[in-house]
Amino acid sequence: MPMPASFKLDLPVRPRRLRRTAALRELMRETQLKAADLIAPLFVVEGDAAPQEIASMPGQFRLNLPDLVKECRELWALGIRAVALFPKLDPKLKNAEGTEEVNEDGLILRAVRAVKAAIPELIVITDVALDPYTSHGHDGVLNAAGDDVDNDRTVERLAAMAVRQARAGVDFVAPSDMMDGRVGAIRAALDAAGFVETGILAYSVKFNSAYYGPFREAVGSAQAAGTKLLSKATYQLDPANRRAALAEADLDEEEGADILMVKPAGAYLDIIRDVRERSDRPLAAYQVSGEYAQIHAAARLGWLDLERTRDESLLAIKRAGADLILTYFAKEVARALT
């Protein structure tokens, strides 16, 4: 039975008062997303070919060095203040030991020099792991039996890798390998080499996730291994484990990480919140390739609104406690914000 027109609830508190107009909603907004909160991951290749779109990541490209510099200039103009660089190597340069990584004139080092020469103020972050360089696709070198990654020998390689990247001019090295003790070893190596100002953005809580598939295509590590189902379960975190995630973050903080990171972001908002409440260090989260790809796929089918879903997903990550977000949506979101 309909209520009479004169019916009024006796409510001293009406939350809808604060949502009545667009101006009020904006005034009351608790979580704000800025272009400067975003870090753009970029893929770089050799040669002078036109940008190569990554099939599973619409709108993302592998860029040669001149195009990489051009992209970085555009990102800077839009308010993006940091980029993370990832190399896509010719498979002929890969082997079981990932020896191309030690090349002082290697692709990623030249990319760092080119970007810093063109836009010195832009913060450049480089990945510290061997998966782009190894023929087996793992993040480190294998043990004698060839059935697992050798933790300590890999850490020795990664520490030297970080020093080479610092020498090229990088602002932050980002160990993404999940080896035990690598943050402390990298910090010690950087300091011993005189790079006390080079920061460490640690992939502190990196899960053994199914969401990495498109990224592995982008850098060629899946193809190197001959499978898109390469298991890294002996070093990346079990998605079921919350306490283990916090223990990893604690260790990285103790070993000298300047910024902690959780990866992936969207499926692990509870972990982002846990780390935020536990640590005062700046906290980053990586909205990974699979998260980006599934939003695009659903939007192409007409099942989701691309822009609204994109923005909601990023707000959720920020609301959970991330200060910084690595996202493939960085450029288009920054453009929308301006």
Q: Give the β-pairing of 61-63 and 52-53.
A: antiparallel
| DSSP letter for each residue of 231-281 | --TTTSBPTT-SHHHHHHHHHHHHHT-SEEEEESSGGGHHHHHHHHHH--S
263 an active-site residue?
yes
How does residue 132 score in pLDDT terms, banded at 50, 70 and 90? very high
d(CA 33, CA 315): 7
232 an active-site residue?
no
- The average confidence (pLDDT) of the chain is 94
Residue matched to tokens 């223990």 = 247
Q: 77 and 121 in contact (C-beta within 8 Å)?
A: no
Among 94, 116, 263, 331, which one carries the catalytic annotation? 263
| pLDDT (mean) for 180-206 | 98
Judge whether residue 254 has pLDDT over 90. yes
Residue with the larger pLDDT of the pair 214 and 119: 119
Judge whether residue 197 has pLDDT over 60. yes
Q: Which two tokens mark 108?
A: 């990623």
| pLDDT (mean) for 29-52 | 95
Residue 55 identity (one-letter amino acid): A
Judge whether residue 3 has pLDDT over 90. no
d(CA 258, CA 56): 32
d(CA 50, CA 17): 53
Judge whether residue 229 has pLDDT over 60. no
Domains of the chain, CATH where assigned: 33-337 (3.20.20.70)
The pTM of the full predicted model, rounded to 2 decimals, is 0.94
How does residue 217 score in pLDDT terms, banded at 50, 70 and 90? confident
Among 206, 232, 318, 331, which one carries the catalytic annotation? 206
pLDDT by residue (tens digit) across 50-92? 999 999 999 999 999 999 999 999 999 999 999 999 999 999 9
pLDDT of residue 1: 58
pLDDT of residue 6: 80
Judge whether residue 94 has pLDDT over 60. yes
| pLDDT (mean) for 144-159 | 96
Q: Which residues pair with 38 in a beta bridge?
A: 325
Closest CA to 220 of 108, 140, 137: 137
Least confident of 134-143, 161-170, 189-198: 134-143
pLDDT of residue 168: 98
Which 3 state secondary structure label does DSSP give 19?
helix
